[in-house]
Chain A
């Protein structure tokens, strides 16, 4: 049972972390709660479905193409729709909901409300500590590790990363220092959508495709980033682990209540927030106006 819990926590945490990283990044740098985030994840999954299923491309090519396309769509939607509204917090929030709804409806019109599947990159399973794990999950874990290293290198070892971090820390000062804040926000948005698209490409074969598939991961992602502290990448990873652990524990300890795993993890989030109002690794907003 312990091995089971450990392995399940590990695989779910990596899926959640992959989804949450981009969201957290967008908030940290562009200061935007982008509720469209998981809709980009859905978009990527459907694009791959079209490329592989309808156009007959091979999986790897389809994944690359869809990641590129979704990244472009993400950056465009930021530039055209979100950035001009940047001053109005609530409006941005609503526009991103509306955008996600619009994507959902387009998918519904194009593909109908059918459950679809994307073939896994690698089939079969391995047995790890006596627990069966599908190979697709191993791919997720591997890609996530690579992405974590790459994002870390990008943020800490490059000039672009420096600019992004400065923007994240203080937009106004960054602007005064000659950093193109708007460009940095857009680059971050592109990066974030790319991460969402990657998640779509890797996770979609495990889950199912349907036009409302963005909503459920969205609440999980929100719980993770809030719990970890908005804008903190480290927080997102820890948040993902905590939520995954809670969900797994619910399934294993209270099998009759496994439908409650979402509710329990949200409750844990609330409890942690009551103890630490700015999340585990978030910055206190007390003085900010």
Chain B
């Protein structure tokens, strides 16, 4: 009797497995018989970053296909997207095998996406093994680009679309810091603002910590301490009360992951009398206000997009994205979106689907993307600077994300930029 019951269970499990296999495979049949260019959109699809990778790519593919596709010689091609769940936040080996599967089994010609650096490194090697163009839309680690310089022949198929690399992110966030210190000097008469550095423990944070301790004093500010919480910290109350104790006027942050949310939430709830500025990737996403229960208001972060016209492509993309998905686009979404356009132009110029020929044309890219005039540097990285991609500073004001930087920096003010606002409790504390 017991034995039979066991067998029934086994049969049930097998049935479940096959049913699952069945309903999945039906979705994977190639739909179109026409000529297609297959692009693997690789990201942690269960998470917001991967969702955005997919949303951005889907939108671009649809627009491009509707407009007639990609002309290669006298043939017309359409984009066909392959959704590749890398599961990279949980398992790096998963990420590498998923992409390898996409290339060998699903016949992907190009790869776009990925966020976690450890996974991006693994995927980079897989893509280079197969000599497939891999466009990163998320990981900012500079080492990915250094490889192009070190071993050009092997790594030339790699390109970064977004964001600007980690070092440039750090430099640009320092500009935001200067901007805020100016406001403090002018509005609150704080001559030498004290700065607390809060950088999550990550490679980019290490670089920023070294740089900031040198540079910040030269901006006429005083560093009162450096805190390095874990990227997955869920409670920063202790850090925040310690910062308050230190008498800081400014909290200069670097958060690339989860800990940015509880940080901002507890900062707002405790009304720590110090303005918060820097990089907080989670504060770029739509869900930030709800996740912080409204406490994240006045959080000021470096961003890729804001409701401003960086180029004439920015706002159409920005607004259409919000219309389609009900969310602000992030650099993950914009990265995959732009990557498909950049790739399209390169393929059309090359007039062939030969990867090496396309690489040559990719290198010649000079076009207006949604984040600025897009030109690759010699390491296949995004060129940063006035007249190129600058990134923007965005602040949460009254529950809305607005753009507050650049506001006159190097003569640049993107149309739609508004004034930075000090949190009222900070004004209260130092008036």
Contact = CB atoms under 8 A, between A and B. Distances in A.
B227 A125 contact: no
Contact of A259 (B230, B258, B261, B270): B230
Interface string B233-266: 1110111011011000000000000100110011
B266 A134 contact: yes
A132 B270 contact: yes
Of A118, A124, A255, the most chain B CB neighbours within 10 A belong to A255
B92 to A, nearest CB: 16
A11 to B, nearest CB: 7
B120 to A, nearest CB: 18
Question: Which of under 10, 10 to 19, 20 to 34, or 35 or more describes the interface residues of B?
Answer: 35 or more
Question: Which of under 10, 10 to 19, 20 to 34, or 35 or more describes the interface residues of A?
Answer: 35 or more
Contact of A208 (B227, B258, B271): B258
A248 B47 CA distance: 31
Given A117-B293, A210-B258, A259-B228, A112 B46 contact: yes
Contacts of A131: 241
Contact of A213 (B201, B234, B239): B234
Nearest to A248: B238
A259 B234 CA distance: 11
A134 B242 contact: no
Nearest to B270: A132
B420 to A, nearest CB: 25
Nearest to B201: A259
Interface string A192-206: 000000000000011
Interface in A69-119: 108-109, 112-119
B228 A108 contact: no
A209 B292 CA distance: 10
A108 B46 contact: yes
Contacts, number: 125
Of A137, A209, A210, the most chain B CB neighbours within 10 A belong to A210
Contacts of A51: none
A120 interface: yes
Contacts of A120: 269, 293
B300 to A, nearest CB: 19
Contacts of B50: 113
Given A208-B258, A255-B239, A114 B230 contact: no
A136 B235 CA distance: 13
B4 to A, nearest CB: 17
Interface string B32-43: 000000000000
B235 A125 contact: no
A50 interface: no
B23 interface: no
Interface stretch (A1-9, A145-153, A172-180, A272-280): A1-9
A63 to B, nearest CB: 15
Interface string B45-59: 011111100000000
A146 to B, nearest CB: 22
A113 B287 contact: no
Contacts of B239: 251, 255, 258
A262 to B, nearest CB: 7
Contact of A4 (B47, B227, B229, B245): B245
Contacts of B293: 117-120, 205
A113 B48 contact: yes
A256 B227 contact: yes
Contact of B227 (A109, A137, A258): A258
Contacts of A136: 269
B109 interface: no
B48 A112 contact: yes
Given A134-B266, A252-B242, A259-B228, A216 B234 contact: yes
A123 interface: yes
A115 B261 contact: yes
A255 B228 contact: yes
B47 A113 contact: yes
B67 interface: no
B95 to A, nearest CB: 15
B229 A116 contact: no
A117 B265 contact: yes
A259 B259 CA distance: 11
Contacts of A12: 235, 237-238
Contact of B291 (A112, A115, A216): A115
B162 to A, nearest CB: 20
B282 interface: yes
B225 interface: yes
A50 B155 CA distance: 47
B388 to A, nearest CB: 32
B46 A259 contact: no
16 contacts: A11-B237, A113-B49, A114-B47, A116-B290, A124-B269, A131-B241, A136-B269, A206-B237, A206-B266, A207-B234, A208-B234, A210-B258, A213-B234, A256-B227, A258-B230, A258-B239
Q: Which 8 A-B pairs have the closest CB atoms?
A: A113-B47, A259-B201, A259-B230, A251-B238, A207-B234, A117-B291, A115-B291, A255-B227
Interface of B: 44, 46-51, 89, 200-201, 225-235, 237-239, 241-242, 244-245, 258, 261-262, 265-266, 269-272, 282, 285, 287-288, 290-293
Interface of A: 1, 4, 7-8, 11-12, 15, 53, 108-109, 112-120, 123-125, 131-132, 134, 136-137, 205-210, 213, 216-217, 247-248, 251-252, 255-259, 261-262
Given A255-B242, A256-B226, 5 more contacts: A112-B51, A124-B269, A247-B238, A252-B242, A255-B239
